[in-house]
A and B are shown apart, each in its own frame.
Chain A
Amino acid sequence: MEDIGNLTLAAALKGLRAREFSAVELVRELAGAVTRRDDALGAYLFFDTDAIVQQAAASDQARAAGIDKPLLGVPLAVKDIINVMGEPCSCASKQLAGYTALYDATVAGKLRAAGAVFAGRTNMDEFAMGSSTENSAVKLTRNPHDSERVPGGSSGGSAAAVAGGIAVAALGTDTGGSIRQPASFCGCVGVKPSYGRVSRYGVTAFASSLDQVGPLTKTVEDAALLLRELAGFDRHDGTTLQCDVPDYTAFLNEDLKGLRIGLPQEYFIDGSDPEVMSQIKQAIERCAAAGAEIVELSLPHTEYAIAVYYILATAEASANLARFDGVRYGHRTANPETVFDLYAQSRAEGFGTEVKRRIILGTYVLSSGYYDAYYGRALKARTLIRNDFAKAFESCDVLLTPVAPTPAYRIGERTQDPLKMYLGDVFTVPASLAGICGIALPCGKTESGLPVGLQVLGPAFGEERIFKAAAAMERVFKV
């Protein structure tokens, strides 16, 4: 087996199928790496080696009996927001400390059926609210490239584990950039599928019309392998679409010749870190040199996206998090005298500051007298943003943008200024609002060695396109 830190999902599958190593050997290597490195990284909230080895042993037995499955024996880290029956699902919150999942999320069921091994639960911003994983109520996760910097968020634990060599691949969720941005900050690959492509059933909801589950991996191929198993219509999720899932791995061997790459000017204005822009520009040049056609265009309503997002997402979240009241599960305050007390105290004790702030903001924008000015208008503005992308895809195949205006920033740098934190989502949020798909992949590093990621966006249910482009770019960037 090659070094576990570099082992891809594809290589793991190959090795397992070729009997080069067993799943038990694989997860023991992984556990060793976790033991050595995770104290410093803080990527995992839970890593039950014995339970993981048990699953691996069962998959080895199955393989010995002649069974093969798309992910048989492959260990996957799971963001602690996706319900896996019998495992914790804390959402990195005190509100759900000690909670045990009573049912499988649909994606967990699909991975189970594909033979995957659930290997550890990763840290995140509490209830997926944040862009740096600093809002975790449990622990701090550090960027594998610089321990004084954030890994990004909210899927920071998953990104740090993959990029830090202590996970083969991982699942995250993306609502406004929470897969793509940590992928960029940590230097790995992250995919936000089109809205409705992957089931949300069993994934604790943050913003219902925006959340999606997606892969964080070392390579584009791994992401394609994993997304193929995750995607599909689900009768438990009324927002999934009846749409066949292509074999995404069939699109990974094309080149960039003739690919029309759109560059939305609003993503390239002054204000971003010059090193980030320089890396992105170099990447664009290499794509052009490889035969891609560069198209300059505009997504005119980009500047409104953060405002729209923080109105819609917090409003939906304020309702989605109302269920955390200490009645049926989760944290309950000691000695409540009235039911009002029970609610208000339990939630005050259980939720962290950012979560409280967003719930109150979301409640405010929905409240009587303010709905029309904020929520009502934001729904309409969302239409304009969607239309921008639809129009853009008439003149290009994919869009290319930076993922974030900066590389990973220092721990603590933005925690006192919520709005500044929110503004870091400027390049990822619009695609979420439009419901389209996007992939973040590493395209270079800053002088000090911090990863810079670029984002390839495709139209809704056009994942083949972004995989095609990203796989080709990955090859181009490696040269």
Chain B
Amino acid sequence: MNKPSPRPLPTSIGSTVDLLAEAEYLADRSLGTVLFLALKMGRPIFLEGEAGVGKTEIAKVLSSTLGRRLIRLQCYEGLDIAAAVYEWNYAAQMIAIRVAEAEGEHDRARLEHDVFSERFLIKRPLLQALEPDTAGAPVLLIDEIDRTDEAFEAYLLEVLADFQVTIPEMGTVKATQPPIVVITSNRTREVHDALKRRCLYHWVGYPTAERELAIVRAKVPGVSKKLSEQVVAFVQALRKEDLFKSPGVAETLDWAGALSELDVVALDPATVSDTLGVLLKYQDDIARLEGSKVKGMLDEMKSDLRAAE
């Protein structure tokens, strides 16, 4: 990771959008508004949306453009405090106890105080995010929160409301500067309203054709103008189909990349059918597009593009 110099927070909605654009993240005005407010008001951002629309990317871009450290907490079922917040270094503690014994130390209170000190504390993402940083408060990404359970959500309430963590053996650790918190969810279950209430909510949708084209051009520089237009138009048409899982922006980029690797200059039915697996990840969605369907969609798309010129 390169080490950019820390920068002050943006001062308006427009400059927030520009900031993201610097790292080639093309956000629409609504996302810019939410991000600006979150930064200004010191609130967590809660991003929901289909897989592959660039939710996680937002946190990464924020950290790189603002020059802050990115701390990522990937959620999974069974995520507990030992993995998310802190853990004691038991082996070192046991050695410390043995050494104390050998030295004839028998004052229990003293021993306990020594063993449960910061020296033996292993800091996990949430605790790391509360530490002061010379570059400014870090960006804390809590990714796919819907994968963990309600108990962990409830724990997050304290962290997100007061930016503090209580360690029974040591006391409360409070952040001097609250971190920039980005929470993402794929909506595989509903996250409780109490948590959402503390955040600013934004639904990250699929981009418009115009914006998606700009994203493809920025992220896949090798692809020709004609091909990128066709790719975007086809993906946009595909999203209107009755599919189980519509392709996200990540799939569009993958596809554009794959096609340019194959030295394709223009879409034809055979190429599309061969590379459909990059866009669609369900067998019956692929089966739905078999045969003449792809050709029909391509013809329609090409005539639309011609009409637009």
Determine if chain A interacts with chain B. Answer: no
Residues of A bordering B, CB below 8 Å? none
Residues of B bordering A, CB below 8 Å? none
